[in-house]
Amino acid sequence: MEYADILINVEEIVRGVLCDNGIKLCDKTVAGEVPGWDSLNNIRIILAIEKKFNIKYTAEEIRIFQNIGNLCEIIRNRICQ
């Protein structure tokens, strides 16, 4: 899958969980910047991403996830394995 496609899919998931179709994500977006993206919704987003792409994050990855770019990079690496 192309990186751009991954980003679009992640954006759709985030919009769904946060109930806000106006959210736009880019590489550098950090969870704390997005309204409504609190720790509980963070869990929902991560689990929804796992389901969508059929991948699994590790506990450490969940802990240190820094920004969207980082998140998508992990997805791309997993899918390619």
Q: Which stretch binds other proteins (CB under 8 A): 1-9, 11-19, 25-33, 68-76?
A: 11-19
Question: DSSP label at 33?
Answer: G
Question: DSSP label at 51?
Answer: H
Q: How far apart, in whole angstroms, are the C-alpha atoms of residue 62 and residue 19?
A: 22
Q: Is 3 or 53 the residue whose CB approaches other proteins more closely?
A: 53
Q: Does 55 bind other proteins (CB under 8 A)?
A: no
Q: How far apart, in whole angstroms, are the C-alpha atoms of residue 54 and residue 1?
A: 13
Q: Does 57 bind other proteins (CB under 8 A)?
A: yes
**Least Å distance between CB 60 and other proteins?**
9
